[in-house]
């Protein structure tokens, strides 16, 4: 140091250079030390986690975001518990047959696939401890929701190496029938089990399993009327996350996304016989479900494929219009389109993609689509938004957001709900959060107001809720439960 001072005094430029180089060496050593410490900490933490996973049962669970969650209680079906529960139920008397089965919530996200419950009023003064369940019990694996008709709830679940279409009594949770067949789908991030919700129509249940097995069953008995594997029937490939698109019943047809090439992407089958009626498009399938809508004065099937949104003629599958829509990072669309008015609908996706308002208009040659706004204020990943009185409410990744449907402008963003699901009832949003909580939020465009929240299920919950006759049914890959939402019954 003395030499540096002498040199600095005798030769100022040389001294400054030596001081600067000395400082640079110390800075480099400090940076290298910090990097080494960080790498050591990561490796040490990784080793500790690996040992805990090896010795204690600590597990990795993907819950929608990044990084995954470390948990000692991964959300998995307990097949021994399911089988014991159903054996006990078999000793109970069967409920009486309803005089007439009416569809109250006939399939995925309700009668119009828009997440609207328009039945009787719901209780909005939830107790501090939450609603008491009418029943709660174990269930098989998978991400299907319920179709509800005549007091019966139909779902699709994994039962060991089989998929099972099942029917339950809504009042008691008693299993009424289970129709199983060999099918075993599993992937590393979502886990095992079927993904698509069955559809109910005119005394029959239509289900689509994770590997493409579509069944038509008698709703009263579970007897199989017809079946077809839509992948084999249309020379289609199985998507990475399995078949997740729910069947759509439209008149005499059951319409599905098969994803086959050479005009076999979207297929309509006769709902009574299972015979194919028409096939359309060459697009790979997405995970969202076909919808029967009316846009620009024309009834049509609205479908989002891997690369675009399209409107198809119900009678023959003819293409009416197309709008480009690609999800970032090579992903496929999950969220349902949301109809915003007579000629507009919303598209939304996660992975940084965002949302787009699309307008369908009449032209001299038919119909045409054009975007009217686009932004990243709403990114529906595994969820779908709802439209209520001019505004869109939904989860932007894991936070609740309100958008002006006309402009796409964000009104507010508040409240974390994980990668859950949203429905609207009686002017309120009912949110089933990604960790199994049920929350009640006022559907107000000018402010965020949560009116109640409680733990309804334990563990990761990606399944959509279903509402019928004043009750809400919820499930995940391990549990199912029913709560009474009627005023005065909480």
Domain match, 56 and 116 both? no
Q: If you average pLDDT over residues 465-483, what whole number do you get?
A: 97
Confidence of residue 71 (pLDDT cuts 50, 70, 90): confident
In-domain check, residue 24: no
| Domain CATH for 403 | 2.130.10.10
Please state, in angstroms and rounded to a whole number, the distance separating the CA atoms of residues 393 and 260.
34
Domain match, 193 and 87 both? yes
Q: Which residue(s) pair with 206 in the sheet?
A: 199, 216
Q: List the strands of the sheet with 116-117, edge to edge.
A: 116-117, 421-425, 428-432, 437-442, 450-455
Domain match, 83 and 63 both? no
Query: DSSP for 348-360?
Result: EETTTTEEEEEEE
Percentages (nearest 5) of helix, strand, coil residues in the chain = 15, 40, 45
Write down the pLDDT at residue 3.
44
Helices (H), 162-221: none
The two tokens of residue 230 are 């839509």
3-state secondary structure (DSSP) of residue 372: strand
- Structure confidence by residue, pLDDT tens digits, 398-454: 999 999 999 999 999 999 999 999 999 999 999 999 999 999 999 999 999 999 999
Write down the pLDDT at residue 5.
44
- Structure confidence by residue, pLDDT tens digits, 190-246: 899 999 999 999 999 999 999 999 999 999 999 999 999 999 999 999 999 999 999
Domain match, 367 and 282 both? yes
Mean pLDDT of the chain: 91
Question: Alpha-carbon torsion 461, 462, 463, 469, what sign?
Answer: positive
Please state, in angstroms and rounded to a whole number, the distance separating the CA atoms of residues 139 and 158.
9
The two tokens of residue 139 are 């269930």
Write down the pLDDT at residue 63.
78
Domain match, 60 and 140 both? no
- Structure confidence by residue, pLDDT tens digits, 152-204: 999 999 999 999 999 999 999 999 999 999 999 999 888 999 999 999 999 99
Q: If you average pLDDT over residues 336-359, what whole number do you get?
A: 98
- Structure confidence by residue, pLDDT tens digits, 29-43: 666 666 755 565 556
Domain match, 428 and 480 both? yes
- Structure confidence by residue, pLDDT tens digits, 256-269: 999 999 999 999 99
Domain match, 447 and 374 both? yes
In-domain check, residue 436: yes
CA 109 to chain centre: 10
Domain match, 191 and 103 both? yes
Q: Identify which has the larger pLDDT, 184 or 74.
A: 184
Please state, in angstroms and rounded to a whole number, the distance separating the CA atoms of residues 337 and 293.
10
Domain match, 171 and 51 both? no
Q: If you average pLDDT over residues 363-382, what whole number do you get?
A: 96
Question: Alpha-carbon torsion 286, 289, 295, 297, what sign?
Answer: positive
The two tokens of residue 275 are 């015979």
The two tokens of residue 409 are 């402008």
Please state, in angstroms and rounded to a whole number, the distance separating the CA atoms of residues 348 and 371.
13
- Which H or E element spans position 89? helix 79-90
Query: Do the beta carbons of residue 246 and residue 208 sit within 8 Å?
Result: yes
Question: Which residues make Cβ contacts (< 8 Å) with residue 155, sequence separation at least 6?
Answer: 139, 144, 145, 146, 147, 165, 166, 168, 197, 198, 475, 480
The share of the chain scoring above pLDDT 70, in percent, equals 87
- How many domains is the chain partitioned into structurally? 2
Q: Does residue 274 come out as left (phi exceeding 0), alpha (psi in the -120 to 50 range) or beta?
A: left
* pTM given for the model: 0.90
Write down the pLDDT at residue 4.
41
Q: How many Cα atoms sit within 13 Å of 335 on the Cβ side?
A: 33
3-state secondary structure (DSSP) of residue 379: coil
Write down the pLDDT at residue 51.
55
Domain match, 91 and 57 both? no
List Cα–Cα distances, 138 to 147, 289, 410, 455, in angstroms.
Answer: 18, 27, 40, 16
Write down the pLDDT at residue 95.
83
Domain match, 51 and 141 both? no
In-domain check, residue 355: yes
Please state, in angstroms and rounded to a whole number, the distance separating the CA atoms of residues 358 and 371.
4
Domain range for 48 is 41-67
Q: Identify which has the larger pLDDT, 65 or 184.
A: 184
Please state, in angstroms and rounded to a whole number, the distance separating the CA atoms of residues 473 and 439.
14
Nearest by Cα to 17 from 30, 8, 27: 8
Nearest by Cα to 384 from 456, 443, 432: 432
Please state, in angstroms and rounded to a whole number, the distance separating the CA atoms of residues 53 and 47.
10
In-domain check, residue 489: no
CA 305 to chain centre: 16
Confidence of residue 11 (pLDDT cuts 50, 70, 90): very low
Q: Identify which has the larger pLDDT, 251 or 73.
A: 251
In-domain check, residue 457: yes
- Secondary structure letter of residue 46 according to DSSP: H
Query: Do the beta carbons of residue 219 and residue 152 sit within 8 Å?
Result: yes
Nearest by Cα to 349 from 393, 283, 397, 386: 397
Write down the pLDDT at residue 9.
42
In-domain check, residue 423: yes
Q: If you average pLDDT over residues 356-377, what whole number do you get?
A: 97
Write down the pLDDT at residue 405.
98
Asked whether residue 53 carries a pLDDT value surpassing 60, the answer given is: no
Query: Do the beta carbons of residue 482 and residue 473 sit within 8 Å?
Result: yes
Query: Do the beta carbons of residue 171 and residue 121 sit within 8 Å?
Result: no
Nearest by Cα to 248 from 199, 207, 197: 199
- Secondary structure letter of residue 249 according to DSSP: E
Confidence of residue 13 (pLDDT cuts 50, 70, 90): low
Cβ atoms < 10 Å from Cβ of 469 = 17
Q: If you average pLDDT over residues 81-92, what whole number do you get?
A: 94
In-domain check, residue 23: no
Cβ atoms < 10 Å from Cβ of 193 = 25
Domain match, 60 and 136 both? no
Query: Do the beta carbons of residue 143 and residue 469 sit within 8 Å?
Result: no
In-domain check, residue 72: no
Query: Do the beta carbons of residue 367 and residue 296 sit within 8 Å?
Result: yes
Confidence of residue 22 (pLDDT cuts 50, 70, 90): low
Write down the pLDDT at residue 385.
98
Query: Do the beta carbons of residue 245 and residue 197 sit within 8 Å?
Result: no
């Amino acid at each position: 140091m003395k030499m540096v001072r002498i040199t600095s005094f005798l030769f100022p430029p040389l001294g400054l250079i030596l001081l600067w180089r000395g400082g640079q060496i110390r800075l480099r050593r400090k940076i290298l030390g910090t990097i080494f410490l960080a790498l050591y900490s990561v490796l040490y933490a990784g080793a500790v986690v690996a040992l805990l996973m090896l010795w204690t049962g600590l597990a990795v669970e993907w819950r929608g975001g990044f990084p995954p969650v470390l948990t000692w209680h991964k959300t998995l079906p307990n097949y021994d518990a399911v089988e014991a529960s159903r054996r006990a139920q078999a000793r109970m008397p069967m409920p009486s047959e309803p005089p007439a089965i009416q569809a109250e919530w006939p399939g995925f996200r309700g009668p119009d696939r828009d997440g609207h419950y328009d039945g009787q009023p719901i209780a909005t003064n939830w107790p501090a401890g939450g609603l008491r369940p009418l029943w709660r019990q174990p269930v098989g694996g998978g991400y299907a929701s319920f179709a509800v008709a005549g007091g019966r709830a139909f779902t699709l679940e994994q039962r060991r190496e089989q998929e099972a279409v099942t029917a339950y009594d809504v009042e008691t949770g008693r299993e009424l029938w289970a129709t199983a067949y060999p099918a075993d789908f599993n992937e590393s991030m979502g886990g095992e089990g079927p993904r698509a919700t069955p559809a109910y129509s005119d005394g029959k249940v239509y289900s689509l399993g994770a590997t493409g097995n579509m069944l038509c069953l008698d709703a009263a008995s579970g007897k199989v009327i017809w079946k077809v594997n839509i992948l084999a029937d249309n020379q289609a490939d199985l998507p990475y996350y399995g078949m997740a698109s729910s069947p759509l019943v439209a008149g005499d047809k059951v319409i599905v996304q098969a994803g086959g090439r050479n005009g076999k992407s979207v297929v309509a089958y006769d709902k009574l016989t299972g015979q194919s009626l028409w096939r359309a498009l060459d697009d790979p399938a997405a995970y969202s479900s076909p919808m029967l809508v009316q846009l620009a004065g024309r009834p049509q099937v609205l479908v989002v494929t891997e690369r675009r949104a399209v409107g198809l003629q119900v009678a023959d599958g003819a293409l009416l219009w197309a709008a480009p829509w690609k999800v970032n990072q090579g992903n496929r669309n999950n969220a349902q389109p949301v109809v915003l008015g007579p000629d507009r609908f919303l598209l939304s996706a996660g992975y940084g993609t965002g949302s787009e308002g699309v307008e369908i208009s009449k032209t001299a040659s038919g119909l045409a689509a054009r975007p009217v706004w686009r932004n990243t204020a709403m990114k529906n990943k595994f969820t779908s938004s709802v439209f209520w009185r001019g505004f869109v409410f939904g989860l932007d990744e894991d936070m609740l957001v309100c958008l002006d449907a006309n402009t796409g402008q964000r009104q507010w963003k508040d409240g974390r709900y994980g990668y859950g699901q949203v429905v609207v009832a009686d002017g309120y949003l009912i949110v089933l959060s990604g960790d199994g909580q049920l929350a009640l939020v006022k559907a107000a465009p000018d402010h965020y107001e949560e009116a109640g929240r409680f733990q309804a299920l334990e563990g990761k919950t990606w399944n959509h809720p279903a509402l019928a006759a004043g009750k809400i049914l919820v499930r995940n890959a391990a549990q199912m439960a029913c709560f009474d939402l009627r005023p005065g019954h909480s």
